[in-house]
Chains A and B, each alone.
Chain A
Amino acid sequence: MLARLCKINFVATLLEVRDLRTHFHTSQGIVRAVDGVSFDIKEGETAALVGESGCGKTMTALSVMRLVPKPQGSIVGGEIHFQGRDLLRLTEQEMREIRGAEIAMIFQEPMTSLNPVLTIGRQITETLEAHERLSRDTPEARALELLRLVGIPDANRRLSDYPHRLSGGMRQRIMIAIALSCNPKLILADEPTTALDVTIQAQILELMRELSRKFGVAMMIITHNLGVVARYADRVHVMYAGKVIESAGARDIYQNPRHPYTLGLLHSVPRLDQPRKAKLDPIEGQPPDLWNLPQGCSFSPRCKFVIERCKREVPPLRDIGAGHRSACWVAETLSQGKVSSS
């Protein structure tokens, strides 16, 4: 009986990141861009990686792809298990087979990741050919099908267009088409809509959601927009200064935040669905320099709930029940963090 139940509810873990560390060597010292990051992504799930500028979101994703800029940057520790294999132990050749085919990435600025001198059609067929993922269809036919899938009007004509002829929203659709072209299991989308207008942002995110459901692709959306996360993510991982400091189901994290930073973020943004507050409630102070992190918990200098221990010991990311994890010494005693409309 138990076994059967487990079978029904069991969703396999697709990606497992454990204590990942990616550092940069600069003239000012070592930048701990990723400083012990751990999280999981399940098959078919949409996860969000949220955090402020410079906290290490992009570097986390690039580490998973093993595309950290060399020679300044390197992965110095941790494990990245994808479908049971540790990506950090693969050869460059083996990794190339995974990139694009198993794990695809979509970047924030599509103009820099699309090749300006290749037609849209060619960029898609190139990816297909590189992975020899062609069954019956010709590459051109598959490219056309993909453009239609991502809602490009007049797809036939667009195949021979160059990227600069397209709007930002259209380019992002092309990036999604390329990402989907080899039927990957996981798409890492780094701020896929930050550069776009809200009405176009909504179109693109709806499209991504629809396609991920249709093909059962897992997604990790990297963003700093808490609204986007609330609308589209199943699970949320909040980063601060190179670490994941809280992980939980989306509803849970918004209704019951268990880290002072998450709590502060949720309180500091004005919300359209609530009465307007007379005054906003910001997190005081600045995010820390990654080459000069404070002792103990990196958030402690800005934290309202700080205790002595926080200044000495780094709190580990630990289970606090029901799939909720927090890296805070006082996680359990944080006042019920429901964001009230007062």
Chain B
Amino acid sequence: MSRTQNSKLKTQNSAIVEVRGLKKYFPVFSGLFTQRVVGWVKAVDDVSFSIRRGETLGLVGESGCGKTTTGRCILQLERVTEGEILFEGQDLTRLGDAELRLLRRHMQIVFQDPYSSLNPRMTIGQIIGEPIWVHRLLRDRGECRDRVEELLTLVGLNPLMAQRYPHELSGGQRQRVGIARALALEARFVVCDEPVSALDVSIQAQIINLLEELQGRFSLTYLFIAHDLSVVRHISDRIVVMYLGRVAEIADRVELYESPLHPYTQALLSAVPVPDPAVEAQRERVVLKGEVPSPMNPPSGCVFHPRCPIAVEECGQIVPQLREIRPDHWVACSRV
């Protein structure tokens, strides 16, 4: 068994992050120039889950279901509309800017797009060194340079890369820089927002292995956001499935993939093609009808009911609550 898993077993199951009743609504304005609010995008609508210290919590769901918004709300990069975000017991939504700035060191983010998330006018060395400088972790230029070189080596890049600019790096190399930057401040908790989606298949595995190795080494906790269910299964201990701003199901990796209970999770899993024609020929497929509705005007009752293969009339009326169906396996479906 890998070191990562050993260290995961040792850490106790206490929560490092707790999300309680999180809501994030974005206003929709009537025109380009008028500022009249004509509606709300319910990007995240009453979401609760916790992230245990040392684990990787996967967050999956289709485009626009609110994954990024959830991640950004946890890090307070976005002010919440309602709800609490507890980080090591402290409610971040009640903190002022100065207090947040101190805590930010411990919570970092790796972005999806390695092309736009690095400042093109700064060298790689400056990009990684800047947060160290801003947070005054090191006050000596030489020490700071040494630390940058150490970080570059850590993520598998040549220390000479410090002199280069982002456009001179490949996508995979840039993603390593993003990871090095997140680690520069010795973060304990990292939100990885689709960190491999923009990368080539042959490079994705390199980055996933790196993230796992670093997790074992520095006891990191990850919130791993992705839409690729195969990747999420590989890296996550537990998984949250979201649909249209709500949580559909939460379970540990084995449970979720072996006995998914929510009809949406089942459809999602069966939609993922497996790279083996012999297996594919045997697989059952649930092809969902219809499109993902707009979060501006979500369906009544269970948001999934218009596409759900097992919906009954009451699904259109009652919002299903998350229930613990089996130990540690939570489902928001009244038909389960």
Among B1, B227, B233, contact of A272 (Cβ-Cβ < 8 Å): B233
- B residues in contact with A339, CB < 8 Å: 276
The reply on A255 being an interface residue by CB < 8 A is yes
For the complex, give the distance between the alpha carbons of A224 and B209 in Å.
20
The reply on A291 being an interface residue by CB < 8 A is no
The smallest C-beta distance from B86 to any residue of chain A, in angstroms, reads 30
- Interface 0/1 of A191-203, CB less than 8 Å to B: 0000001111111
- A residues in contact with B292, CB < 8 Å: 167, 197, 199-200
The reply on B269 being an interface residue by CB < 8 A is yes
The smallest C-beta distance from A333 to any residue of chain B, in angstroms, reads 23
The smallest C-beta distance from B211 to any residue of chain A, in angstroms, reads 11
B201 close to A268 (CB less than 8 A) = yes
The smallest C-beta distance from B227 to any residue of chain A, in angstroms, reads 7
- B residues in contact with A206, CB < 8 Å: 287
The reply on A67 being an interface residue by CB < 8 A is no
The smallest C-beta distance from A221 to any residue of chain B, in angstroms, reads 12
For the complex, give the distance between the alpha carbons of A76 and B244 in Å.
50
B62 close to A272 (CB less than 8 A) = no
In the complex, what residue of chain B is closest to A249 when comparing beta carbons? Answer: B277
B202 close to A264 (CB less than 8 A) = yes
- Interface 0/1 of B123-163, CB less than 8 Å to A: 00000000000000000000000000000000000000000
- A residues in contact with B231, CB < 8 Å: 270
Tally B residues with Cβ within 8 Å of A: 46
B229 close to A272 (CB less than 8 A) = yes
A200 close to B275 (CB less than 8 A) = no
Given contacts A203-B287, A282-B209, contact A231 B201 (CB under 8 A): no
- B residues in contact with A224, CB < 8 Å: 200-201
For the complex, give the distance between the alpha carbons of A206 and B63 in Å.
20
Q: Which residues of A219-260 have CB atoms within 8 Å of chain B's CB atoms?
A: 224-232, 250-251, 254-255
B273 close to A287 (CB less than 8 A) = no
Among A167, A250, A282, contact of B203 (Cβ-Cβ < 8 Å): A282
- B residues in contact with A232, CB < 8 Å: 273
- B residues in contact with A225, CB < 8 Å: 273
For the complex, give the distance between the alpha carbons of A47 and B271 in Å.
21
B206 close to A199 (CB less than 8 A) = no
The reply on B49 being an interface residue by CB < 8 A is no
Among B173, B271, B274, contact of A202 (Cβ-Cβ < 8 Å): B271
Tally A residues with Cβ within 8 Å of B: 47
A199 close to B2 (CB less than 8 A) = no
- B residues in contact with A287, CB < 8 Å: 200, 202
- A residues in contact with B275, CB < 8 Å: 226-227, 229-230, 254, 266, 269, 271
- A residues in contact with B103, CB < 8 Å: none
In the complex, what residue of chain B is closest to A339 when comparing beta carbons? Answer: B276
The smallest C-beta distance from A158 to any residue of chain B, in angstroms, reads 13
The reply on B170 being an interface residue by CB < 8 A is yes
- Interface 0/1 of A85-123, CB less than 8 Å to B: 000000000000000000000000000000000000000
For the complex, give the distance between the alpha carbons of A270 and B203 in Å.
13
For the complex, give the distance between the alpha carbons of A199 and B2 in Å.
33
The reply on A279 being an interface residue by CB < 8 A is yes
The reply on A9 being an interface residue by CB < 8 A is no
For the complex, give the distance between the alpha carbons of A170 and B290 in Å.
10
Stretch of B21-29, B39-47, B88-96, B278-286 at the chain-chain interface: B278-286
Interface centre among B208, B209, B279 (most CB of A within 10 A): B279
Q: Which residues of A49-97 have CB atoms within 8 Å of chain B's CB atoms?
A: 52-53
Given contacts A200-B291, A284-B206, contact A276 B278 (CB under 8 A): no
For the complex, give the distance between the alpha carbons of A269 and B230 in Å.
8
B5 close to A278 (CB less than 8 A) = yes
Given contacts A230-B280, A250-B277, contact A202 B291 (CB under 8 A): no
B269 close to A272 (CB less than 8 A) = yes
Q: Which residues of A159-192 have CB atoms within 8 Å of chain B's CB atoms?
A: 167, 169-170
In the complex, what residue of chain B is closest to A236 when comparing beta carbons? Answer: B277
B272 close to A227 (CB less than 8 A) = yes
The reply on B205 being an interface residue by CB < 8 A is yes
- B residues in contact with A250, CB < 8 Å: 277
For the complex, give the distance between the alpha carbons of A9 and B233 in Å.
43
In the complex, what residue of chain A is closest to B198 when comparing beta carbons? Answer: A53
A276 close to B234 (CB less than 8 A) = yes
- A residues in contact with B285, CB < 8 Å: 202
A52 close to B201 (CB less than 8 A) = yes
A269 close to B273 (CB less than 8 A) = no
Q: Which residues of A196-216 have CB atoms within 8 Å of chain B's CB atoms?
A: 197-203, 206
For the complex, give the distance between the alpha carbons of A169 and B257 in Å.
26
The smallest C-beta distance from B248 to any residue of chain A, in angstroms, reads 13
Given contacts A198-B227, A198-B229, A271-B274, contact A282 B200 (CB under 8 A): no
- A residues in contact with B203, CB < 8 Å: 282, 286
- B residues in contact with A266, CB < 8 Å: 275
For the complex, give the distance between the alpha carbons of A169 and B289 in Å.
12
In the complex, what residue of chain A is closest to B207 when comparing beta carbons? Answer: A282
For the complex, give the distance between the alpha carbons of A282 and B200 in Å.
11
- A residues in contact with B278, CB < 8 Å: 251, 254-255
Interface residues of chain A, those whose CB is within 8 Å of chain B, are: 52-53, 167, 169-170, 197-203, 206, 224-232, 250-251, 254-255, 264-266, 268-273, 276-284, 286-287, 339
A-B contacts, 24 of them at CB < 8 A, read: A198-B229, A198-B271, A198-B272, A199-B62, A199-B271, A199-B292, A200-B291, A200-B292, A202-B287, A203-B288, A224-B201, A227-B272, A227-B273, A227-B274, A228-B273, A254-B275, A265-B202, A268-B202, A268-B205, A272-B230, A272-B269, A273-B276, A282-B205, A286-B173
Known: A167-B291, A269-B204, A271-B275. 16 other contacts (CB 8 A): A198-B229, A199-B287, A202-B273, A226-B275, A227-B274, A230-B276, A231-B274, A231-B280, A265-B201, A265-B202, A269-B230, A269-B275, A272-B257, A278-B5, A280-B208, A287-B202
8 closest residue pairs by CB, A with B: A227-B273, A282-B205, A226-B275, A270-B234, A197-B62, A280-B205, A268-B205, A231-B273
